[in-house]
Amino acid sequence: MLANGIELAYKETEAATTYTNLAGLKEVPEMGADPEKVDVTDLASINKEYEYGIGDYGDLAYKFNYENGSAGSSYRILRKLADEKKVVPFQQTYPDATKFTFKAQCSVKLGGGGVNAVMEFTLNLAIQSSITVTDPSTGS
């Protein structure tokens, strides 16, 4: 499966019934947590023993084409959410309809530029909930 067609959407509030797609998405991060490896070795152990602790999703970094021509542009929407320090629901949907749903707070950084270079901005999401994975319907 190609990454083409992946979408990132958000809801203004938890009570909102639909997600609004964010246009201009170019790159998405890996999805999943890296659990901390906890040392559980005791004095009777003959070698180190470990157990996985809680996971860390880290920051999820998304790249977008920069476009700031209207109040509905992804850059303005996300910059406003960042300025307000709002925690809002997000949903990342893959082409096969797999969905990752979570709440996050965002920060936005406008990228640098150069000759014949496309302007981009980066959305960093700090996870504020667990991530729920919804598998695609199998039709049965």
pLDDT tier for residue 137 given thresholds of 50, 70 and 90: confident
19 and 12 Cβ atoms separated by less than 8 Å: no
Burial of residue 63, with CB atoms counted within 10 A of its CB: 0-12 exposed, 13-18 middle, 19 or more buried? middle
Per-residue pLDDT tens for 32-60?
A: 888 999 999 999 999 999 999 999 898 89
19 and 35 Cβ atoms separated by less than 8 Å: no
Q: Report whether pLDDT(66) > 80.
A: yes
Residue 43 belongs to some domain of the structure: no
Is 83 strand, coil or helix? helix
Q: How many domains does the chain have?
A: 1
Show the domain range for 17: 7-34+51-134
Which residue, 83, 77, 96, is CA-closest to 9?
77
Residue 113 belongs to some domain of the structure: yes
Residue 64 belongs to some domain of the structure: yes
DSSP, res 19: -
